[in-house]
Amino acid sequence: MIVNKTKTYTHLKPTQILVAEFIAEFKDRDKEFKGEHIIIDFSDKINIEIKEILLFLKLSVQHRKNGTSFVLVCNGISVDDVPDELNVVPTFNEALDILEMDAIERDLGF
């Protein structure tokens, strides 16, 4: 996994072929990302399936409980197929927009 940390978020790009392998590494390194807003960028992975995206549901819920954002960047995934607890967007710029909207919601107490 390629990790790029900024002042406001951590951008992760999987280098693994299988999503399950990426999740295993992410979970192993989870303490490294504690308290950080996470963007996981699958934009280079072709043919990612909804069932693979759903593997991130528990992680997303946990981050929200901890007051941080968790966003997946995936092409070809219909937002209608994704639970509300999971932020999935088609581009990196939209992921940055989600981080801003989440910050506003937290400031307003939502």
Grade residue 47 by pLDDT with cuts at 50, 70 and 90: confident
Q: In whole angstroms, what is the distance from residue 61 CA to residue 106 CA?
A: 15
> What number is the average pLDDT over the span 38-46?
87
Are 77 and 50 in contact, with CB atoms under 8 Å apart? Answer: yes
Q: In whole angstroms, what is the distance from residue 68 CA to residue 93 CA?
A: 18
Q: How far is CA 21 from CA 3, 46, 78, 107, 110, in A?
A: 16, 16, 23, 35, 34
What is the widest separation between alpha-carbon atoms in the chain? Answer: 40
> What number is the average pLDDT over the span 9-26?
90
pLDDT score, position 97: 94
Q: In whole angstroms, what is the distance from residue 76 CA to residue 60 CA?
A: 20
Q: Render pLDDT for 91-106 as a digit per residue (tens, 0 to 9).
A: 999 999 999 988 888 8
pLDDT score, position 16: 85
| pLDDT > 90 fraction of the chain, expressed in percent and rounded | 44
pLDDT score, position 37: 94
Q: List the beta bridge partners of residue 89.
A: 73
